[in-house]
Amino acid sequence: MNKPLAPTGLNLDEPLLWEMGNPGRTGFSMPPCDVEPHPLDDDIAGEGPDFPDLNEMGVVRHYTRLSQWNFGVDTGMYPLGSCTMKYNPKINEKCSQLAGLAGLHPMLPAGMTQGALRLMAELERFLAEITGMDAVSLQPAAGAQGELAGMLLIHSYLKSRNVTRNKIIIPDTAHGTNPASAALCGYRPVRIKSGDEGILTPDAVQAVMDEDTVGIMITNPNTLGLFEAHIKAIADIVHAGGGQVYCDGANMNAIMGMVHMGKSGVDVLHLNLHKTFSAPHGGGGPGAGPVCVARHLAPFLPVPRILEKDGVYHLSEDFPQSLGRLHSFFGNFGVMIKAYAYILSMGGENLKKASQLAVLNANYIKEKLKSVFHLPYDRPCMHECVFSDKFQREHKITTLDMAKRLMDFGFHPPTIYFPLVVDGAMMIEPTETESLEEIDRFVAACRIVAAEALESPDLLRGAPKRCKVERLDETLACRQPCLVG
Ligand SMILES: *Cc1c(COP(=O)(O)O)cnc(C)c1O
């Protein structure tokens, strides 16, 4: 195709600043200098880096265009399953930037930081109440570190009772961080298969439970977006065998304030404040992965812990059985402020409602799309639903092709090829913050993509076509990233 001489659409071919520069251009206009040049000037200025000469508008347009190439929750729907990419109200960001909080030095004495200590103590209490657990540490900086904290807590507890065990049961639906955290703690992960309904059966757990079993790591709701309905029976089996129950609570957005984790037999659970409680995530953090525990594990929580007496807060290291520190100072305090502001501004009833809407939205999508995408577990889901590319595969169209094509319609693709138990998985999590109109637009785009897969598969194989860059060789892009444009 001949390239037209003049651009025909949006010009998204952004040159480097060096390619845009032209000697003599300048980004400012000021009166001529009326001060004698200082003899030192030449020495200081020296050769200097070879910066291009640019005008102000060129620079502004360059950076504004670059900023628009980004995609985030603020620009469009981001249905990335397992990640809870919901909209985070800006007021929570503002709160975390309040000078009195953002400028606080972590080494100030308790007498000067009562507000911050109270905020953390109350956040611990809120999270305990939302989950139905007894005590909380806010220290872990991410979900995975919360998992490690949980494993270390269980290890410390068993050790205090002179029990040495090595094996930990992990279902095949688990997030990859689960076996990694267990292994980091020196445990040997043992994988068990989920039942035909996509959830664990008590029998499968009973079959592997033995005297060497530390416990189980169970995700609830699990990564298929299904509620582990047998959690109590499973916990009873593990406890009867002398083990402990770890729950991966990264999917708490489906059940805030609705499931009493303690009563369902969970001994320790982590939360992702950066998924469920309004801290933006992606790009590497920061996040926070508090651990919530039942009473018998509380003595082992990381120090320092926040104590309150007669309305005065202080930090205490006086917990001889504590597993020690997991993070410098208190963890990622800025993230805690966002979660605290979010919880207070929502209130208990609205947190529940948020979870109910997240579940409703996911079920709506599941029902709207199950005629065009294969739904391996056709039953009510929680906050996310998982399809596969089984219907499209006979036309040689894969999950990857469809995910790429969705970008042409302005949507971030869902999570793909996870969980591993579903071949060619597409995992969609709309969250509670998308409107019905936006969800309908997403459903319409998915239906078009599904129809194209049958009628014009070539459109999908080359997708995306309307984005700045077309299909990348993803392996090559990782191994040899091109960082110069
Ligand atoms: C996100 C996630 C994790 C890990 O959390 P990070 O904060 O990324 O370390 C663990 N388990 C599940 C189910 C998750 O979705």
Q: What does the pLDDT read at residue 155?
A: 97
Task: Indicate which atom in ligand 1 lies nearest the CA of residue 146.
Answer: 9
Nearest CA to ligand 1 atom 7: 143
Cβ(219) to ligand 1 under 6 A?
Answer: yes
The closest of 404, 394, 384 to 459, measured between CA atoms, is 404
pTM exceeding the 0.85 threshold for the entire prediction? yes
Which helix (H) or strand (E) is 15 found in, with range? none
The strand pairing partners of 190, in sequence order, are 169
Cβ(332) to ligand 1 under 6 A?
Answer: no
Which helix (H) or strand (E) is 1 found in, with range? none
**Separation of 111 CA from ligand 1 center, angstroms?**
36
Neighbours of 247 (CB within 10 A): 28
In angstroms, the CA 211 to CA 165 distance is 7
Spell 82-119 as b/e; 16+ CB within 10 A means b: bbbbbbbbeebbebbeeeebeeeeeeeeeeebeebbbb
**Separation of 250 CA from ligand 1 center, angstroms?**
6
Q: Name the residue with tokens 């502004």.
A: 60
Cβ(88) to ligand 1 under 6 A?
Answer: no
Task: Indicate which atom in ligand 1 lies nearest the CA of residue 174.
Answer: 13
Q: 428 — phi, psi (to 5°)? A: -110, 125
Cβ(81) to ligand 1 under 6 A?
Answer: no
Pocket probe for ligand 1: among 80, 86, 177, the residue whose CB has the most ligand atoms within 8 Å is 177
**Amino acid letter, 279:** A
Give the DSSP letter string of 435-448.
Answer: -HHHHHHHHHHHHH
Task: Indicate which atom in ligand 1 lies nearest the CA of residue 285.
Answer: 7
Cβ(223) to ligand 1 under 6 A?
Answer: yes
**Separation of 307 CA from ligand 1 center, angstroms?**
29
**Separation of 177 CA from ligand 1 center, angstroms?**
7
Task: Indicate which atom in ligand 1 lies nearest the CA of residue 145.
Answer: 9
Cβ(119) to ligand 1 under 6 A?
Answer: no
Cβ(293) to ligand 1 under 6 A?
Answer: no
Residue 4 DSSP label: P
Contact 214, 233 (CB under 8 A): no
Q: Name the residue with tokens 């800006």.
A: 90
In angstroms, the CA 394 to CA 399 distance is 12
- Rounded to the nearest 10°, the torsion over CA 418, 422, 425, 427 is -70
What structural domains and CATH numbers belong to the chain? Answer: 90-345 (3.40.640.10), 351-479 (3.90.1150.10)
Q: What does the pLDDT read at residue 35?
A: 87
User: Which residues of the chain are modeled with pLDDT < 50?
Assistant: 1
Cβ(218) to ligand 1 under 6 A?
Answer: no
Cβ(273) to ligand 1 under 6 A?
Answer: no
Contact 82, 386 (CB under 8 A): no
Tokens, residue 100: 């009195």
Tokens, residue 24: 């003599």
Which helix (H) or strand (E) is 169 found in, with range? strand 167-171
Pocket probe for ligand 1: among 138, 248, 268, 276, the residue whose CB has the most ligand atoms within 8 Å is 248
| Peptide linkage before 430 cis (omega within 30 of 0) | no
Cβ(146) to ligand 1 under 6 A?
Answer: no
Q: What does the pLDDT read at residue 37?
A: 74
In angstroms, the CA 452 to CA 405 distance is 10
Cβ(250) to ligand 1 under 6 A?
Answer: yes
Contact 187, 167 (CB under 8 A): yes
**Separation of 253 CA from ligand 1 center, angstroms?**
13
Cβ(84) to ligand 1 under 6 A?
Answer: no
**Separation of 143 CA from ligand 1 center, angstroms?**
5
Cβ(272) to ligand 1 under 6 A?
Answer: yes
Q: What does the pLDDT read at residue 49?
A: 75
Cβ(413) to ligand 1 under 6 A?
Answer: no
Q: Which ranges constitute the DSSP H helices of 98-240?
A: 99-102, 114-131, 143-160, 177-184, 202-208, 231-240
**Separation of 150 CA from ligand 1 center, angstroms?**
14
Angle, CA 305 vertex, CA 296 and CA 332 arms, to 5°:
115
Give the DSSP letter string of 246-302.
Answer: EEE-TTGGGTTTT--TTTTT-SEEE--HHHHSS----TT------EEE-GGGGGGS-
